[in-house]
Each structure stands twice: as structure tokens, then as C-alpha cells.
Amino acid sequence: MLAPMMESPLLISGLMEFGVVNHPEAEIVSRKVEDNSIHRITQLGAAKRTRQLANALLNWGVKPGDRIATLAWNTWRHYEVYYATAGIGSICHTINPRLFPEQLEYIFNHAEDRMLFIDLNLLPLVEALRDKLPHLQAIVVMCDKEYMPDSKIDGLICYEEFIAPHSESFEWPQFDESTPCSLCYTSGTTGNPKGVMYTHRSTVLHAMGSLHAQALDIKADSVILPVVPMFHVNAWGIPYAVTITGAKLVFPGAAMDGASLWELIKSEEPTLLAGVPTVWLGLLNHLDSIGETMHSVQTVVVGGSAAPLSMIKAFDEKHDAFLLHAWGMTEMSPIGTVNAPTKAMLAMPKEERYQQQRKQGRPVYGVDMKIIDDDGNELPRDGKAYGRLMVRGPWIVNSYYKSDKLATENGWFDTGDVATIDSHNTMQIVDRSKDVIKSGGEWISSIDLENVAVGHPAVAEACVIGIPHEKWQERPLLLVVLKDGASASEADILD
């Protein structure tokens, strides 16, 4: 028996239209790529331009299912491309400009992108590859006419001229919520990158799941600065989630150094920052160098890799900001767990709380997880046993793009991580399965060693790798980068 409830598809266009009706004056602030100046627009203004872009895409000949690529930073124009492409039933394919040229070529051609939206300073990447991209029919440069560059590529289109002739009115088509909306590729550290195709349903559910207090806690009065790039798993879904709530969105453009971020933080007063540890290391070092502290920031979300204990302490003790670990991956849209503060955690003595903050947290609603041994047996959630981390849920990949093989085992996806889960269902990554060092029958976590090393006041960055050893099979080798002007001996680091 089926219950007599309405059938209403979960679509990306619905997020934008909900935002326009409920939060038309919500602000989107961007640092412009062209000249580093600040651009401001309301959610209503961005929606009008998005409808113009949708009309322009259809007029050009974009069809449902076409892949529309972006090589772009975090700006209001990239936000418009997100919504316009998905809204008409095509697929927004964000590409990481930091990949090697061979990987870029592979990704463009594997996706068969018909059109590319690109930021001005990334154009040289495509100039070097243009003759190797047979599917690409048009390149739109995301700038005003006055900034259009001289280029080796003929027929470049100016973004503002592309959308200008078209109406601000558009009736978004309705279609099945399982229709693809965006495409992201894994980094390809082993073999070619793999494509993960997200659906409207998975993306909307992920956005809704990230909002509540035990996730990213995004509210109408939040001010969000996503430094995580929009080409990196859709900026962790933040451009979709923020649109629902009407929070102020602050885009850093191409300038993600400590000084540029501090300038935005001072002027726009974000309450939540989101990015990877390397970015926050640069920001903390800059603030130390100028003797400044952040006052508006309440939460710093860290993903991509584990933050060292020294970083957790620095944000708390110097800036009164809570470092919030989140964990996930491209195959998970990406959020899987968030180590959101609980009443019990906040009541802990600081040193004890810091240790708890190092963990990756508990699953958000919609994600199930377990750890298993090499024989597939589920291991206890006692915080001691560690094994392969398996996940499942409505926004987790079932198979890769253009692959006939399932990416899952009995309905579970193997993350490639080795983890523990405690009695409170809090998960902590021990290592990547391919990175864990097996020495004399003992597993050594490279993450733990790196975190301790980075705690040394002279150390800027640290990396641990496994090297062959005659007796122990494998032993860890620590590679260290010192801070500018700092000095330390081998004995200092080892101590």
C-alpha cells in the first residue's frame, strides 16, 4: 500500500527559487578574479542572472545531459553556472585546475564536455590543451568585456555578453530527481581520475543534511566563507546549503593566501570558515605575523586531511574559534561525519576536549558506517579496534561514471580509510589503507606522527612515508619543512 502524499521532485532549481522567495536580500560577496575588487549581489539578483544564463545556454544549443565544464574559482559567476546548468537538465562538471596537464586532458575527454566556463587567469591551461580536446565547442571567459584577453584560442565568448541579451524570466523544467546534475572527478593518485556523477536528489538531500546543528549548523544569520574551492566536491555542498537558509555567502575568488583571507574576514565578518589545513596554516601564520585576532569567526571547518593538535589549540586559544573536523570524500558528495560540539564535549577540560576534537566525528543523518577486518567481519565500536571504513547512504556513489562495475561491496562503499569507531559512534581516521605503515607486524599511523611533528614550533609542514627495511619490512620516514627563519636539529624533531 502506498500513502497518498504528493510527489514533488527534489531539484536544484527548487533550492534557488526557495531562496528567492524566502531570502531575496541575502548577500553574495565575491572577490573578483579580474582585479581583486569586491563584488556584491543579492540572492534575487543572482537568480535573475542565473535565469539569463539558462536562456543563453538553451539558445546556444545545450541539451539535457550535456556536460558543461568549469575551470573557475569561488565567485558569484561560478555560483550562477552551478544553478543554471543543473536547472535546465545539463551537468555542471567542475574541474580542478591544479591537476597535471595529462589529467586535465583525460578528464575533459572522458566527460566529453561541450562547453567550458573559465576564469581569466586559468585560460593558459586550456590554451596548451585546446588541440587535444575534440569535444569542446565553446569557451566562455568569466569576466566583463573590458577584461577579455588576447588568446591563442579563437572565438572566445565573454560571459557578460553571453547572458546580457537574454530574459531574466525562466520557467525551470521539471524532471526526475534522479537526473544527473553535477560531475566531479577524484584526484587520480592511483590510475586515471574517476568520475562521480551526483543527482538532483542526492545533492538536495546532502544540502539538507549539512544544515542542522550536528552538522555545519548553517542558519539565516550565518556568514559563510568557503575557502574550499567550488571545483573540490562542489565546495562541500555549501553553495547549495546556504541558498536554502539565506545565510550570507562570501567567496574568496582566486586569492586564498593568509593576507587576502584576513582582509575578507575583517570586512565581511564571517562566522564560519571552511577549508583544508594548509589554508588555515597560512591564515594563522599571517595573523601571528601582524598580531591580529579574529573576532567574528565562531567555527573553522576542516576537511581534506586531519588538522594537527597545534592548529586546534591555536584557533581556540588565540582566536576563540572552534575547529570542527568534517570527513568525507568525492564519492560521498562529500560529507560523511562531522565532529560537532556537544554539551559533554564543551564541558570537558580543554586538553581533553582538544583530543576529542582531533576525531572526525559522528555520521550525519543519512550516512551509515562500520569498520571491518580483512575477512569482511564487522569490528566492535570500542574506540580500539581499527579496520576498513565502509559507508552507505543516499548521497554515496554506487558506480563511477561510464563504468559498468559497482563501486560497492554488498551495498557498502569501501572508503580506503582505516578507522576506529567508539561507543558513541564517533569515528577517527587512523590512516589511508595505502598509507598505513606496517612495521614488524605493527600498524603505525602516518597521521599521528605527522600531527606530533607539526606541533613543534619550528615546523611548518610534515609528511610521513613508509620506506623498506631489512628487519622490519617497513619503517616510517619523516619529512619536515621548517617555518621561514626557524631552525631545528634532527634531535629536536625526534624528541
Distance of alpha carbon 450 from alpha carbon 458, whole angstroms: 14
Using DSSP, how many helices (H) and how many strands (E) does the chain show?
A: 16, 25
Whether residue 363 contacts residue 206, with contact meaning beta carbons closer than 8 Å, is answered with no
* Residue 372 phi, psi dihedral angles, 5° rounding: -130, 160
Catalytic residue among 331, 359, 395, 415: 331
Strands (E) in 288-366, as ranges, are 299-302, 322-328, 335-338, 362-363
Q: Which of 326, 468, 329 is nearest to 395 (CA)?
A: 329
**Burial letters for 220-258: b for 16+ Cβ neighbours within 10 Å, e otherwise?**
eebbbbbbbbbbbbbbbbbbbbbbbbbbbbbbbbbebeb
Whether residue 237 contacts residue 226, with contact meaning beta carbons closer than 8 Å, is answered with no
Q: Which of 167, 137, 169, 171 is nearest to 154 (CA)?
A: 137
> Looking at this protein, which amino acid is placed at residue 301?
V
Three-state secondary-structure class, residue 79: helix
Respond yes or no: is residue 474 known to be catalytic.
no
Q: Which residues contact 102 (CB under 8 A, 6 or more apart)?
A: none
Respond yes or no: is residue 203 known to be catalytic.
no
Whether residue 443 contacts residue 427, with contact meaning beta carbons closer than 8 Å, is answered with no
Helices (H), 112-255: 123-127, 159-163, 200-211, 233-236, 238-245
Q: Which residues contact 481 (CB under 8 A, 6 or more apart)?
A: 459, 460, 461, 462
Catalytic residue among 70, 85, 94, 186: 186
Catalytic residue among 219, 293, 378, 443: 443
Q: At what angle do helices 12-22 and 200-211 cross, to 10 degrees?
A: 40
Helices (H), 269-328: 277-290, 309-319
Environment class of residue 268 by beta-carbon count within 10 Å: exposed (0-12), middle (13-18) or buried (19+)? Answer: middle
Whether residue 148 contacts residue 156, with contact meaning beta carbons closer than 8 Å, is answered with yes
Three-state secondary-structure class, residue 117: strand
Distance of alpha carbon 227 from alpha carbon 453, whole angstroms: 25
Whether residue 283 contacts residue 276, with contact meaning beta carbons closer than 8 Å, is answered with no
Respond yes or no: is residue 443 known to be catalytic.
yes
Respond yes or no: is residue 171 known to be catalytic.
no
Distance of alpha carbon 464 from alpha carbon 435, whole angstroms: 9
Active site residues: 186, 331, 438, 443
